[in-house]
Structure 1
Amino acid sequence: MKNNSTSYPFLRGGGEMGELTNNYNWASTPVGAIDQWPQNLRNTVSMILSSKFPMFLWWGEDLIQFYNDAYRPSLGNNGKHPLALGQKGVDCWQEIWDTIYPLIQKVRLKNKSAWSEDLLLPIYRNGAIEDVYWTFSFSGITGDDDNVEGVLVVCTETTEKVKNLARIEDAKNELEFAIEAAELGVWDYNPATNKFTGNARLKNWFGLSADGEILLSNAVDSIIEEDRQRVSDAILESLNYESGGHYDIEYTIKNPVTNELRTVRAKGRAWFGTDTIAYRFNSTLQDITDRKKAQKEIAKANHLTNLSVKSAGIGVFNIDLATGSIEYTPSFALILTGDSTRKEINRQAFIKHIHPDDLEERAIALKEGVKTNEFYYSPRVIWDDGTIHRMVVMGSNTFDASGKPVSFSGTVRDITVFENQKTALAEADIKFRNVTNSSPTGLWLSDTEGRITYINKTLIEWSGISHDGYTDGEWINYIFEEDRELCAALFQIAIADHSHYEVIFRLNKANGKTSWCRAAGDPYYNNDGSFAGYAGYCMDINEIIEGRKALMESEERFRSMVEEAPVATCLFMGRELRLEIANEIMLSYWNVDNSVIGLPLAKAVPELKGQPFLDILDNVFTTGVTYHASAAPALLNIGGIPGTYYFDFTYKPLFNAKGEVYAIMDMAIDVTEQVRARQKIENTQTALTGAIELAELATWSLDIKKNIFNYSTRYMNWMGITENLQTVNSAFVSLPEEFTEEVDTALKTASRKGSSGIYENIHPVINRITGEIRIIHSQAQVVMDATGNPEFLSGSAQDITKERKLQQELEFQVEQRTEQLQQANSELAEAIKALQQNNQELRQFAYIASHDLQEPTRKISIFSKMLKESLGSIDDRSRTYLNKINNSADRMGNLIQDVLAYSQLSKEADFFVSVDLDKIAKETITDFELSIEQTGAVIVCKDLPVIDAIPRQMSQLFSNLISNSLKYKRINVTPKITITATLLPKGTVSKLDKEKDYYRIEFMDNGIGFHQDYAEKIFDIFQRLHGKSEYSGTGIGLSICKKIIQNHHGNIEVRASEDIGALFVIILPAAQN
């Protein structure tokens, strides 16, 4: 530098840096003499020098430097100033040039500003490299040609701000440590939610759960009853804005678990919003139980107590040098001996607890302390339990008037925790590795360049890739080549932007297996906020991918089930009831074809408009409640014949994962014929009723088992009663006493099994209200139940009072009436018999339908095969059609045979006999010799018993279950079937007759199995878990098994696992009634 006699106006008012800039030999720099400076440089330098905010300027290609007085302190003393003025940037800032030069170039080349907050840029100042934090902005100074000629830096040093934030964090940690060291309970209450949280110590005192938030009332319940209301009132008062929010109270709590009593002092305050409503209330609790118990002792040593409170966690003591006795706080005893309640510690006991190896250190400290009366040493101490701790002793002597030391007062502080911090850091690293290695998910860390720096054990074991394979980057080669480039590109983009990273790819494991993976990660940062790298995970999602495939297959199976259902079935989607799928039966009811699939129901079947079905479906969609209807009329055009048809149907809502209705399943059965038959019976009953009224007859019936009469209205009028149901004793009140025994005997005789079943009697009845006596002629016929036992008497009665008086004159008329009565009784009996047969006919319906369908099905199969043979050479399309006809006919034949067998089970009345199940099993195995030989199956039977059963049904049961196991075998696995039996004594089977012995018979195989969720469904008729192209069958076999077990008063259930096998458990009584 040199003095410049010329003073430039634009440099005036620039303070020290203005003067240095004016006097600097700029001619020796690329900038040139001040006279040659361009106007934009002059303006910028003038602005910098006059600014009170720190500013800095780099100018030209060589980045020559200018700065103002406000920036000057940041360069420190004995550092870069004043050499930085006029110096090239690269020469001045060598220690941080790699960081700031790219930012400068971004401004110079692209004219884009740069900004950073609290960035650490260590610089040389005050004779050393210092860590300095900056918040700065780089912006371009352009010339007349709009090119950037200089870079202006507006900045402020934030070193003190960053350090203050660090001090705040340290203070927070120290506060938490102080709370813990002071053994305080801390709680926080949210008045808006009534939720209460506390630290572990407080919850332990109150006997509360270690969970997060709890209700305030749960904590208050632990306060003893005599203090509870006082505490509640104090809390309410503190929550009142006018109280100032202060809270200070002492009370006693009782731990509900240990019953321990503890006296505490609570101090805290409530915090209020601008609306004067409390939004937070927190407090600390100090255990003052011992203080209360020993208040007199605390009063004697009040000065020690005050000192102890002020220095929480520090023990205070005073030694009488004349006697060697010590006055001390409990903290002193705790730090020295490990027992805060330790009494009578003297000077000798104090020395005894110091570790022998540290007595010399103590002696040296005492000798040195004599010079300054300040004693300090940090010996190890041995606690009463033998553990070793370290403490710091600080103190000084107190002297008498002559200058002689009379006492020694001081403090002790436990510094064991600080000594253990280094060990704790090492242990924390081990704990981190243990925790991550025990995680079920693969975890990883990378550096800022994306190189793997840590990988947990889970990921190594799952992938089979070694630790070195990850850290040296070899792992990328295990990714499918088609996925590799995308994975790498996405990771590099995420690193550049410090953004979330996630990708799905296929991985070739080291064991040769392929698996789908999901990898994801997020950036993590150092304590100073600088980017440290990525932390992430790698998850096996093979099951999810496979699950999606399985879902698609399940939907296909569902569609096939609907199409092949034996009853009309369809599925409506959404509130508009769009027709998703419908089988041929349902389409035939609507007289439409597959072209309506995808249309709303109202458009697909317009004749439903004006009928109730669309409104019912809308209500099911809204409420989610299943709707059932029986014999519901519908105006349809079935087979081109319009009319009223009757259906049993169910509208069942289907729910998504959110519990919302998304579809409705409709299943319907045409019961038109049954309804019309029932209507005929009702018409017959109406005609019979008319005949009875015409003949002025009364009707009655007697429930033989319950001994209850049921009278018609006319009969009730005769007897003078108002209730149609009467017990035998109540009914006999209307009989004269001399007729009671006669009528009772006649009724019992007719009701006795094996009798003629005919009741006929003439007797008087007395009207209970008027006293009128009538002579009646009663007739009845016994009706049997399904087992052939008398169930009830059904008959009629005629008032023959006048006939008795005029018997001679009306004999002929009586005969006619008697014949009419007999005819009416006959018609009534026929009607009753028709009603009884109706259910039997319905049960036979499936049998008859299946039986009658066998011949047409056989003919379809035979004629299609004959057609194929007669055609000779045919094209592939025709051959495919014929094959489909043959296959469908075969499946229909099998289905009919199974339905026929199932219906026969429902109507058979075979007798139970003694059956050897071991013999049944061997005979069944013989029937399957060819299948066993082909598959190599192994069938083991053990200890099968002899039970009461129907032999043919037992053979069918064993045949169906063994056939199932052979059919659903696993590929390349030899089938194994084990059949065992175990006796279950009386009272051990809860769901069945507890007075019987039962056998538990198990059929276990090692086949393909199935998911346990289908354990109930597989016994439903026509239920299939696999497509008919995979496994043959009709879906009726297990329904037959269930029906057989029901016929034998037993139970059947199944337990299964996919690719492991199935276990059928059958419970059968040893003996039948």
Structure 2
Amino acid sequence: MFQQQTDTSFLDGGGESAQIIRSIDWSANPVGPISDWPQTLKTVLGIILRTKFPMFLFWGPELICFYNDAYRPSLGNNGKHPTAMGQRGEDCWPEIWDFIKPLIDKVMLRGESTWFDDQLLPIFRNGKIEDVYWTFSYSPVNDDSGRPAGVFVTCNETTEKVLSVKIEEENRDQLAFAVDAAELGTWDYNPFTQKIKANQRLKEWFGLPADEELDLSIALNAITEADRPRVVAAIERALDISSGGKYDITYTIINPVTKIERVVRTKGRAHFNAEGIAWRFNGTQQDVTDDSKARRQLIESEKNFRAMILQAPVAMCVLKGPNHIVEVANEHILELWNKTIEQTLNKPLFEGLPEVKGQGLEELLEGVLKTGEKFAASEHPVFLPRHGKMELFYINFVYAPFLNGQDIEGIIVVATDVTAQVTARQKIQDAEERARLAMDAVEMGAYDLDYITNELITSPRYNQIWGFEKGASRDEYLDAIHPDDMELRLNAHQESLKTGHLRYEARIKRKDKSVRWVRAEGKLYFDENNQPVRLLGTVIDITDAKRAEDALIEINQKLEIALEAGSLGSYELNIATGEIQCNEQFKEDFGLKGEQVFTFNRLINIVAPNHRDKVRRAVSEAIKYKTAYSEEFQVIWPDNAVHWLRAAGKVRFTEEGKPAIIIGVTFDITDHKNLQQQKDDFISIASHELKTPVTSIKAYTQVLERMLKQKGDTKEAGMISKMDSQVNRLTGLIGDLLDVTKINAGKLQFNDVDFKFAALVTEVVEDLQRTTEKHRLINEFNYEGTVHADRERIAQVITNLITNAIKYSPQPGDILIRSALHDNEVHLCVEDFGVGIAEEKQEHVFEQFYRVSGNKQHTFPGLGLGLYISSEIVKREGGRIWVNSVENKGSTFCFALPVQQSR
């Protein structure tokens, strides 16, 4: 016999049929090994095998056969038993398959039940085909998803009844006796005449007259209005041959005379002629009032149980069966799970709450189901889903077995979230530890003074602060206080008697003649008579802080003198509120001398309209990129006077990384700007005046070079070529000077278009590669999208950055040009491995005429305008430019442009 290596407890008590099932090697069967059987199949087989009523089951797509011991006699001897067990339906019943297969399909495909009464189905048994009559029904067995997975057959062989009508008639009296003994009502309805006959008992229940036949409507009137439509529909359904004529319904009647209310169960069957028309409909009726009351009480009890769980002030749920199906769950446990009722109800716990798998809860639940012993846990750590991630919770919970008699049907779960208490306790413990560590870290001493006994307990650090090697008496500590501070200390103690809090700062004279400053703080505790009984406190040496405070006062005084001497305005801007604290010079810079209240919005309105966006952008970028900012802009005073200001500032952030304040200075640069304007005017005029003769010189140079080459004077032609290169340099310098004057005057023209960024970079790189043999330009672009800007100006920027990289990399090597998309910006970076720039000089490289000073400042020619022009072009296209550099290792210059649609 094949031994199943799995739990077959559902077969217990199933008799011979169960033993046959155990003996079969199911791994070779389409149903598969028992360990893989669905719970629905096990449950249905458990019911079938233990019942005494003949039952049969077709299961799965192959319609595998199962039956119980009560069904076994119908198979006869030397027939289908025991080979029918586990056999395919078609193989088991070939002689009647044409009849029963459509019935099975009807159930499996449409979920519709069937019923047949006294149906002739010849079967092979006792070594031959025998005529056998059956009354049977086919009904669906649904799987966990609610779809039919099998056909449940309840059947009764009626061969003897059909063949023994005479015997049945002889036993009619016995049947009548049985009906009377069982206190049953009997009824017989003629569908053609719509008349009903009933025995005396049923007439008494319905309050019907003693007539032989009555209209059905008279009997229906005794049925409660709530149940009457349901009864009528059940009768009509039974009289339809497609229903099989079966009738079984429970409803309530009220005797119209005695007003006695009864719950009755009526069972019957319709009989049909050859045309399928019901010619007779009869049956019995049983008074089930007591059973109904018990059932209602059971339902009410279960309802109360569910209500208790749903209304419980703590998290509760009931888990049924080995799969821990969530049968009921209240809102508290749903809140704890962070799940909805739709996600969890009537589903296995770990299917609706898969996040808690693998945390040991499965084993705890299995242990309760197996042993029936309650399990309780206190402050059990569990990770639960919150806000898209798993968070740690501490839960007190109880798993208690849910019993039905002696059987364990499931588990009742009661849980309480104690995370807040555990966290609070941990915080208290952490706070105590931090307090101790903090006291050690800041070298704080502690003391405990008993006012009743005058006993003073001090910590080692307290003694050290006062200059004692070990504890001393209270009087000795008092003697150490500086005489000039004794009154201050006494006043603080007298005030503490009113407030309960002590605080003072005083000097002490230690034995080594040194004088130290200390800060003493404490809390007083009083008795029921409001008399002080205890003082707990701390003391800290603040000598260094006092000295630093004095030094800070001195520094602030010097700073005020420096600001005043330099005519610098100083300010502090609260980013959240926009409020500004400032000195008088700052007010004067904005033409607001004498005004008291300052806000950022107030000042931004004084800024010239064409400069406001630039100022806002500079402040926003300083906050976004956590950098300092420096900006020059015009302001229009209330008297309409126009001034130029230079403002610089630095953002300070909170510990959480949020911008809090901006601290900075302002300086009136109106005179400087006027001088610069004069300089720009001069440069503009000079540049224009130089441009024409330089152009002529270049033309003559090129003509002269061609003439010398035609004569064969290559040496002289080479000298002329070098002169032409110098003229090109001079032309470039003049062009830069003209661009600078246009930028300063706000007249630099931009022709913005949509263009492919990668194509432009490739074009510039290829052109510049032809100008250098020592350096290899490597183009690594990861952005091939479109940019809306002035294509020629952006090409000018890229050219400046690459030529600078070549210029400041004297040794042969690679120049890397990279582009990529970052947060709706295209970034282009040019990296060289040349001389680099010192950190303190990097913030100046984009200034006008700035050149990095040092040993090699004359090695690399230029006016220091290229980066300034590039910076202004990028800024005016809505972008930004920056540099990262390490001296003697190289530099990386980058700019960013917004990626956007055509404007």
Q: What is the TM-score normalised by the length of structure 2? A: 0.29
- With the length of structure 1 as denominator, give the TM-score of the two structures: 0.25
